[in-house]
């Protein structure tokens, strides 16, 4: 059987979870007896251009990797000025969609927000973090909902940088009061009295206008760094992390919301988004047109890149097409109507989590099979893995290592771990955070309790897993969470983000790890593990059992091969499975 793998980038030293997954899958297919070629770009590194756009470096050439021919094609990068215009147009549309959904989101807030809490509803830009300071820019009409008893004061720290006219409105079912918006350009705390409100209290900021910086794509109003409210019994800080999207994810309502928005959105916005995402490679498309009929099967990766769209060439030539989208289904960035249409045209879509299959692919009517993700037994289950050697090499002898492995990017929320280690280190002097992964955001790490190692060798990575006491990764959005399986393969307890759907469905909370939502919960659960070696070992052993039974590459590949066989059986093509030669732990 001859298989063509189509992907956005590919190589032995190309770093990234999706890239590693696809490379492992291609090489496992080769070991299973298939003839495998790869069609990809010449890109080694992707450099951020703008929120939705990348710069492709075009540095690689055709080569053979582990008996797989890799065909590479150049990418035409987006024009930075056109990209900024397109990004602004898309952002304006997304803001309009959110505003149109305001009434529905208010109802969801009232129904699902837990008592003694607050949540940011519509009209807020993403949280920005600067060392020990974080803030959000509002848009023109931000709304906050507080649900509690006997609320008597709300305090807001903000700056009105552009001295915008406006008002702050406090309202409930029985009360409404308006305050003129202060025009202080420096950060300042403002307190507003309310008459013992019980139930839902809405805080709305109505601005006369927004401003749009030349090199920014967002609508900006005022900056808000802190919101607290006071009842007769206590004062509470509202977590600026928690917005309506977190509420949707926590209550399983996000797919309905994202899907409704995507299906109503004009197709022109999808065209603009594809221009920003890339890769735009006419030579790749022409090569596919000329060569796709030479293969028995096409498997293509991933969203949000154009390689899935390019792979639809297979359908013109009646070649079976399998798609591996690796979507972060709880991130609106991945939800576009034309993406749904591409997925529906495939002969089969591979879901790497039951969560994505049940919550998304089944919902939108896509033919999908759960195949999972896997660790490489030849790497993880050998006697050569040496945690002591890792500690010696990096001067970490005597340390209780909290390890995190990911791209150093704000979406991975490594800041939560840095904040947590400060407190953990007060009682556990040997606790130390080790961060491994490429430096996407270039933000310096200035903490004596943290070692940022950047990219490391495969040997050092395996040894790091073996050396750590606990593994933690607090990313808000993942397609699966392979790093947790890698940590379990070395019998380590793990900590993940409860708001990340894929991760919260992978980790069994309190069984093989902990799920946390904030810094305080991370501190509490890391300290539980540091105090209780028996519990840590129990978590690690349960995690290892889960990996052996579900998440190794031979298991994953057999599932994929069965999908191939099922599709190819119509053409009387069969696949001979080889004897499994991987080591057991």
CATH number of the domain that residue 530 is part of: 3.40.50.2000
Query: Is 574 inside any structural domain?
Result: no
Provide the percentage of residues in the chain whose pLDDT is more than 90.
Answer: 80
Give me the residue label for tokens 């395996």: 462
Query: Is 497 inside any structural domain?
Result: yes
Do 388 and 506 have their domain in common? yes
Q: Which two tokens stand for residue 39?
A: 């069609």
Query: Is 250 inside any structural domain?
Result: no
Buried b (16+ CB within 10 A) or exposed e, 276-300: bbbbbbeebeebbeeebeebbbbbb
Q: Which two tokens stand for residue 312?
A: 């639809």
Query: Is 538 inside any structural domain?
Result: yes
Q: Which two tokens stand for residue 27?
A: 């090489």
pLDDT of 576: 56
- Rounded to whole angstroms, the Cα distance separating 251 from 241 reads 16
Q: Is residue 349 pLDDT above 60, yes or no?
A: yes
Do 413 and 535 have their domain in common? yes
Q: Is residue 465 pLDDT above 90, yes or no?
A: yes
Write out the E strands in 318-475.
321-323, 348-351, 368-370, 400-405, 431-436, 450-454, 470-473
- Encode pLDDT of 412-464 as tens digits: 999 999 999 999 999 999 999 999 998 888 888 989 999 999 999 999 999 99
Q: Domain range for residue 525?
A: 382-550
Average of per-residue pLDDT across 183-205 = 96
- Encode pLDDT of 488-500 as tens digits: 999 999 999 998 9
- Encode pLDDT of 108-136 as tens digits: 999 999 999 999 999 999 999 887 789 99
Rg (CA), the chain: 25
Coil/strand/helix, residue 397: coil
Coil/strand/helix, residue 346: coil
| Cα-Cα end-to-end distance for the chain | 32
- Rounded to whole angstroms, the Cα distance separating 225 from 160 reads 12
Q: Is residue 92 pLDDT above 90, yes or no?
A: yes
**DSSP one-letter code for 385:** -
- CA distances to 60, 465, 585 from 488, in Å: 34, 9, 12
Average of per-residue pLDDT across 464-482 = 94
Angle at 387 between CA 382 and CA 390, to 5 degrees: 120
Do 141 and 226 have their domain in common? yes
Give the helix, strand, coil percentages of the chain, each rounded to 5.
Answer: 40, 25, 35
- Rounded to whole angstroms, the Cα distance separating 114 from 111 reads 8
Q: Is residue 26 pLDDT above 60, yes or no?
A: yes
Query: Is 571 inside any structural domain?
Result: no
Do 219 and 346 have their domain in common? no
For the entire predicted model, the pTM comes to 0.88
- Rounded to whole angstroms, the Cα distance separating 517 from 512 reads 17
Query: Is 198 inside any structural domain?
Result: yes
Which of 319, 341, 370 terminates a domain? The answer is 370
Please say whether the beta carbons of 517 and 498 come within 8 A: yes
Please say whether the beta carbons of 373 and 548 come within 8 A: no
Which of 242, 273, 294 terminates a domain? The answer is 242
Do 408 and 526 have their domain in common? yes
Q: Which two tokens stand for residue 291?
A: 């060569």
In 3D space, the residue among 245, 231, 35 whose CA is nearest the CA of residue 150 turns out to be 231
Give me the residue label for tokens 């407190």: 423
Do 404 and 526 have their domain in common? yes
Q: Is residue 584 pLDDT above 50, yes or no?
A: no
Strand partners, 577: none
What's the per-residue H, E or C state across 156-224? Answer: EEEECCCCCCEEEEEECCCCEEEEECCCCCCCEEEEEEEEEEEEEEEEEEEECCCECCCCCCCCECCEE
- Rounded to whole angstroms, the Cα distance separating 258 from 417 reads 29
Please say whether the beta carbons of 454 and 445 come within 8 A: no
- Encode pLDDT of 1-10 as tens digits: 899 999 999 9
Q: Is residue 575 pLDDT above 60, yes or no?
A: no
573: pLDDT confidence band, cut at 50, 70 and 90? Answer: low
- Encode pLDDT of 33-51 as tens digits: 889 999 999 999 998 898 8
Do 280 and 197 have their domain in common? no
Do 274 and 236 have their domain in common? no
Query: Is 90 inside any structural domain?
Result: no
Do 136 and 197 have their domain in common? yes
Q: Is residue 84 pLDDT above 80, yes or no?
A: yes
pLDDT of 443: 87
Do 366 and 299 have their domain in common? yes
Average of per-residue pLDDT across 387-407 = 96
- Encode pLDDT of 520-564 as tens digits: 999 999 999 999 999 999 999 999 999 999 999 989 988 998 898
15, with CB counted inside 10 A (0-12, 13-18, 19+), is middle
- Rounded to whole angstroms, the Cα distance separating 321 from 313 reads 9
pLDDT of 570: 72
In 3D space, the residue among 319, 339, 318 whose CA is nearest the CA of residue 329 turns out to be 339
In 3D space, the residue among 336, 334, 318 whose CA is nearest the CA of residue 326 turns out to be 334
Do 355 and 390 have their domain in common? no
Please say whether the beta carbons of 290 and 267 come within 8 A: no
565: pLDDT confidence band, cut at 50, 70 and 90? Answer: confident
The count of domains in the chain is: 3
Q: Is residue 516 pLDDT above 50, yes or no?
A: yes
- Rounded to whole angstroms, the Cα distance separating 55 from 58 reads 9
Query: Is 93 inside any structural domain?
Result: no
CATH number of the domain within which 151 lies: 2.60.120.260
- Encode pLDDT of 167-178 as tens digits: 999 999 999 999
- Rounded to whole angstroms, the Cα distance separating 335 from 262 reads 6
Do 398 and 534 have their domain in common? yes
Helix (H) / strand (E) containing 74 = none
Which of 179, 209, 242 terminates a domain? The answer is 242
Please say whether the beta carbons of 110 and 118 come within 8 A: no
Q: Which two tokens stand for residue 415?
A: 């800041």
**DSSP one-letter code for 3:** E
- Across the chain, what does the average pLDDT equal? 93
């Amino acid at each position: 059987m001859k298989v063509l793998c189509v992907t956005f980038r590919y190589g032995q030293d190309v770093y990234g979870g999706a890239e590693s997954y696809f490379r492992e899958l291609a090489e496992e297919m080769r070991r299973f007896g298939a003839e495998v070629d790869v069609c990809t770009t010449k890109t080694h590194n992707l450099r951020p251009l703008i929120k939705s756009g990348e710069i492709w470096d075009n540095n690689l050439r055709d080569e053979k990797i582990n008996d797989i021919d890799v065909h590479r094609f150049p990418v035409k990068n987006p024009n930075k000025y056109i990209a900024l215009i397109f990004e602004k147009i898309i952002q304006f549309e997304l803001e309009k969609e959110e505003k149109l959904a305001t009434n529905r989101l208010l109802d969801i807030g009232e129904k699902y927000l837990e008592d003694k809490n607050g949540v940011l509803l519509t009209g807020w830009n993403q949280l920005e973090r600067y060392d020990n300071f974080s803030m959000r820019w509002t848009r023109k009409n931000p709304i906050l909902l507080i649900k509690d008893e006997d609320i008597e004061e709300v305090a807001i720290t903000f700056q009105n940088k552009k001295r915008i006219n406006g008002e702050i409105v406090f309202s409930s079912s029985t009360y409404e009061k308006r305050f003129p918006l202060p025009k202080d350009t420096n950060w300042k705390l403002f307190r507003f009295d309310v008459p013992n409100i019980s139930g839902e209290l809405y805080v709305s900021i109505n601005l006369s206008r927004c401003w749009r910086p030349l090199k920014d794509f967002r609508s900006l109003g005022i900056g808000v760094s802190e919101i607290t409210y006071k009842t007769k019994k206590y004062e509470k800080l509202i977590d600026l992390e928690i917005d309506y999207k977190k509420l949707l994810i926590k209550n399983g309502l996000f797919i309905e919301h994202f899907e409704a928005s995507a299906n109503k959105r004009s197709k022109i916005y999808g065209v603009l988004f594809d221009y920003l995402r890339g890769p735009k490679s006419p030579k790749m498309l022409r090569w596919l047109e000329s060569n796709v009929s030479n293969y028995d099967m096409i498997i293509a990766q991933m969203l949000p890149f154009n390689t899935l769209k390019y792979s639809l060439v297979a359908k013109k030539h009646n070649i079976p097409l399998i798609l591996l989208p690796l979507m972060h289904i709880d991130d609106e960035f991945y939800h576009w109507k034309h993406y749904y249409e591409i997925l529906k045209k495939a002969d089969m879509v591979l879901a790497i989590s039951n969560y994505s299959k049940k919550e998304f692919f089944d919902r939108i009517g896509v033919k999908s099979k759960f195949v999972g993700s896997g660790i490489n037994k030849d790497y993880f289950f050998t006697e050569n893995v040496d945690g002591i050697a890792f500690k010696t090499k990096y001067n970490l002898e005597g340390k209780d290592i909290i390890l995190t492995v990911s791209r150093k990017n704000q979406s991975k929320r490594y800041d939560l771990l840095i904040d947590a280690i400060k407190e953990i280190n007060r009682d556990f002097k040997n606790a130390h955070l080790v961060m491994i992964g490429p430096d996407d955001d270039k933000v310096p790490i200035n903490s004596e309790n943290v070692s940022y190692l950047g990219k490391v060798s495969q040997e050092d990575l395996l040894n790091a897993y073996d050396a750590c006491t606990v593994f933690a990764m607090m990313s808000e959005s993942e397609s699966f969470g392979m790093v947790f399986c890698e940590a379990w393969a070395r019998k380590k307890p793990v900590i993940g983000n409860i708001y990340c759907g894929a991760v919260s469905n992978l980790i069994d909370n309190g069984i093989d790890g902990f799920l946390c939502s904030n810094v305080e919960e991370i501190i509490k659960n890391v300290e539980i593990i540091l105090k209780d070696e028996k519990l840590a070992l129990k978590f690690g052993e349960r995690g290892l059992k889960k990996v052996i039974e579900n998440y190794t590459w031979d298991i994953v590949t057999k599932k994929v091969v069965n999908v191939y066989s099922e599709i190819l059986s119509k053409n009387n093509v069969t696949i001979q499975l080889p004897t499994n030669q991987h080591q057991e732990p």
